[in-house]
A and B are shown apart, each in its own frame.
Chain A
Amino acid sequence: SQTIHQWPATLVQPVGSPLSLECTVEGTSNPNLYWYRQAAGRGLQLLFYSVGIGQISSEVPQNLSASRPQDRQFILSSKKLLLSDSGFYLCAWKGTGDSPLHFGNGTRLTVT
C-alpha cells in the first residue's frame, strides 16, 4: 500500500533562517506531488505541484521554493524565512487518473 511521510512534524525557526521540509511517498511511482499551506483558522492554499522529476509549478509568488530531486521526494525550501511563512504545511500525492489526493501528517512551522 502507498504511504506518505512528511517531516519534521514541528519546527520553530528564527526569521532569516533557512528552511527545508521533506516529503516522500512509498508504494507508487510517478505520483503528482503537492505542497499546501494552511494558515491558522483558514483553508488550504496550493503552493507548488509537480508532475515529474525536476518539474515544479508554482501557484503563488512567495518566499518559498520547491524541488523534486527524485521521483517520490518533494522538498519545500526557503533561503530566509519571514514571519509570514508561519503556518501548517501539508504535502500530498495523487496517482494517475481519477485517484483522490492523499495527505501527509503535516508540519507546523513557527517563525519567531
Chain B
Amino acid sequence: AQTVTQSQPEMSVQEAETVTLSCTYDTSESDYYLFWYKQPPSRQMILVIRQEAYKQQNATENRFSVNFQKAAKSFSLKISDSQLGDAAMYFCAYRSARPPGSARQLTFGSGTQLTVLP
C-alpha cells in the first residue's frame, strides 16, 4: 500500500518570503500522480498543484512550484512571495494511475499547518 509522509506538522514564513513544504511517499508503482491540496480555515479542500510521475518537468502554478524527485520519492512544495492568504493546512496526496478497483482514490499525508507572519 502507498503511504504519504509529511514530516513537518507546522511551518511558518514571513510575508513575501519563500517557504518549502516537504512530502515523501512510498510506492512500488511507476505511474502515478501527486497533488498538493490547501485547506484554509474555511475547511474547504482546494487543489493547489498536481504532478504526473511520467513528467520530468516540475509543475508550476503562479507562486507555487514543486520539486519532484522520483528516485527519492520526494515531492516538496515551494511557495514564493508568501501572502497572508496562503495560511492554511497543506496536504500532499498520492494517486495511482491504475484503473478501478481502487477507483483511483487519493492517499493523503497528515498535513502541514502553514502560518504566514505579517
Instruction: Show the binding face of A for B, using Cβ within 8 Å.
Output: 32, 34, 42-44, 46, 49-51, 57, 59, 88, 90, 92, 94, 98, 100-106, 108
Contact = CB atoms under 8 A, between A and B. Distances in A.
A73 B110 CA distance: 28
Contact of B111 (A43, A51, A100, A105): A43
Contact of A102 (B42, B47, B104): B47
B42 A42 contact: no
Chain B contact-residue range equals 20 to 34
Interface in B26-44: 33, 35, 37, 42-44
A57 B103 CA distance: 9
A105 B42 contact: yes
Given A51-B100, A57-B103, A100 B47 contact: yes
Instruction: Describe B's contact surface by its main secondary structure.
Output: loop
12 contacts: A42-B110, A43-B91, A44-B45, A46-B105, A49-B105, A50-B103, A51-B103, A90-B45, A98-B52, A100-B35, A101-B35, A104-B44
B91 A100 contact: no
Contacts of A90: 45
A57 to B, nearest CB: 7
Given A42-B111, A43-B109, A43-B110, A103 B104 contact: no
Interface of B: 33, 35, 37, 42-47, 50, 52, 91, 95, 97, 100-101, 103-111
Contacts of A101: 35, 47, 95, 106
B37 to A, nearest CB: 8
Contacts of A88: 43
B15 to A, nearest CB: 25
